[in-house]
Amino acid sequence: MMSVENMSQLFAKLNDLKKVFSYGERLIPVIHSLGEFMKETVPLLENINKSIAESTSKIPKASNQIQSVTSATELATTEILDLVDVLNADLDSIQKCTSDCLEKEKDKEDFLRSLIPNLQKENAKAFVEDFLEKNRLSSNLNSVVDRIKKMKDDTNSITLSLQVQDITSQQLATVNHLIESVQDKLASLIEDFDNTNINDSNDKINLPEGATFDPNARYSKSSANQNEADTIFNQSMQTASQAEIDKLFN
Amino acid sequence: MGLKFLIVDDSQTMRRIVVNSLKNLGYDDFVEAGDGKEALVKLSADESLNFVITDWNMPVLSGLELIKAIRSDEKMGKIPVLMVTTRGVKDDIIEALKAKVNNYVVKPFTPAILREKIDAILASNGGSN
């Protein structure tokens, strides 16, 4: 026979059970709402996943477009450099011809002057000098030489400005590297969500193997960076040993 | 002995620009390499190469690694090396200095800067090259 104590424990437990049921009764609407919420949320999440997958699949195209921009600018730069080389060769040739003409002009002038003492007429000297004055080409030729020199300086400036291609290609490589990182993150997110491996798709980022770049590359005509390099090198020149260089910079 | 340059850069454009600039400065003897590894092969094969101008960022073997490799080599160790790079931040310059680069030019460069640095290197080497 159960003791009174046992009976009271049983009633206490039944009481607890009743509380659980009554709590459960209140919880049912909440669980029901949660179910409804999930019903609405799952398609939404699927939509988000689909959007991410779609966007992610477009990333290789964007990256490859950037890569093709780099290739196109490199090709165009090479063409410009080829043309500049042709132009420089032509200018060299014109410069040489002009120098030869100047030389011949001087010879001609010297020759005509050398004739004067041998001429019989009184006014021979005046005649020759008048002729030379009216037919003087040396100043024109000197002007042509100056123009050629200026044109050569200009073609050199064009060549130097083409350094922008190398610098922008490094900037684009930095962007591509960032795009690739985003692609990897999104791919792993999608894989966690529905086991889809987007890297299996046909669209892949085709970056040049072993591509390296300076993420801080800038095309700037400011001499600030060069000045800093010069300062550091000048400081190091004044120190004698590697230990001292280390001490200076550490 | 005249200067024979090894121009090391993975960008063909930059190699041409450096070569053109050197031609304008009166130099006419050049060999080119597309990365540090190719540069080491060319340096080993041609003992008349006596001045290296290298970029930093290159595939296979970077300019910095190239300098370290040159400096650690008994035969090539004293060849002057000029770094021509976009890397203009202080830490990079110090790193190059620690690798024992002879001088440093930040892109975009001008022929005047190139001449100044080559002359400075030659002067500090006592014109031995």
**Considering CB atoms only, which of A78, A208, A242 is closest to B12?**
A78
Cis peptide before B108 (omega within 30 of 0): yes
Residue A139 sits in a domain whose CATH number is: 1.10.287
pLDDT digits over A174-203, tens only? Answer: 998 888 888 888 888 777 776 666 555 556
pLDDT digits over B60-106, tens only? Answer: 999 999 999 999 999 999 999 999 999 988 899 999 999 999 999 99
Q: Are residues A238 and A129 in the same domain?
A: no
pLDDT digits over A193-244, tens only? Answer: 766 665 555 566 676 677 778 888 888 878 888 888 888 888 876 654 545 5
* B111 falls within a domain: yes
CB B20 to CB A156 under 8 A? yes
Do A28 and A36 form a contact (C-beta atoms < 8 A)?
Answer: no
- Between the CA of residue B96 and those of A6, A128, B76, B114, what are the distances in Å? 86, 68, 18, 17
The C-alpha atoms of residue A130 and residue A118 are separated, in whole angstroms, by 17
Confidence of residue B39 (pLDDT cuts 50, 70, 90): very high
* B45 falls within a domain: yes
Q: Which residue has the higher pLDDT, A250 or A120?
A: A120
Please give the pLDDT value at position A240: 45
Q: What is the ipTM for the molecules in this complex?
A: 0.84
Q: Are residues A105 and A136 in the same domain?
A: yes
Q: Are residues A99 and A149 in the same domain?
A: yes
Q: Which of A217, A249, A215, A216 is nearest to A233 (CA)?
A: A249
Kindly report the nearest CA distance between residue B59 and chain A, in angstroms: 5
The C-alpha atoms of residue A25 and residue A22 are separated, in whole angstroms, by 5
Residue B58 sits in a domain whose CATH number is: 3.40.50.2300
Which residue range forms the structural domain that includes residue B61?
5-124
Total count of domains within chain A: 2
- Does pTM surpass 0.90? no
Q: Which residue has the higher pLDDT, B57 or A55?
A: B57
- Residues of chain A contacting residue B111, judged by C-beta atoms under 8 Å apart: 156, 160
Burial status of residue B36 (CB atoms within 10 A of its CB: 0-12, 13-18, 19 or more): buried
CB B108 to CB A167 under 8 A? yes
Number of helices and strands (H, E) in chain A? 6, 0
What average pLDDT does chain B have? 92
Q: Are residues A138 and A228 in the same domain?
A: no
Please give the pLDDT value at position A245: 47
Total count of domains within chain B: 1
HSE-up of B125 (CA within 13 Å, CB side)? Answer: 20
Confidence of residue A1 (pLDDT cuts 50, 70, 90): low
Does residue A153 have a pLDDT over 80? yes
Q: Are residues A165 and A76 in the same domain?
A: yes
Which residue range forms the structural domain that includes residue A163?
4-219
Q: Are residues A78 and A170 in the same domain?
A: yes
Q: Which residue has the higher pLDDT, A130 or B126?
A: A130
Q: Are residues A242 and A144 in the same domain?
A: no
Does residue A121 have a pLDDT over 60? yes
B58 has a chain A CB within 8 A of its CB: yes
Q: Are residues A156 and A244 in the same domain?
A: no
Please give the pLDDT value at position A124: 78
Q: Encoding tokens for residue A75?
A: 């090709």
Q: Are residues A212 and A100 in the same domain?
A: yes
The C-alpha atoms of residue A248 and residue A230 are separated, in whole angstroms, by 15
The residues, ordered by sequence, that sit 6+ positions from B49 with a Cβ below 8 Å of its Cβ are B4, B5, B6, B31, B42, B43, B79
Please give the pLDDT value at position A198: 59
Cβ under 8 Å to B: A residues 129-168? 156, 159-167
Computed over its alpha carbons, how large is the radius of gyration of chain B? 13
Q: Are residues A150 and A214 in the same domain?
A: yes
Q: Are residues A141 and A233 in the same domain?
A: no
Q: Are residues A73 and A103 in the same domain?
A: yes
Cβ under 8 Å to A: B residues 87-116? 87-90, 93-94, 97-98, 103-111, 113
The residues, ordered by sequence, that sit 6+ positions from B110 with a Cβ below 8 Å of its Cβ are A160
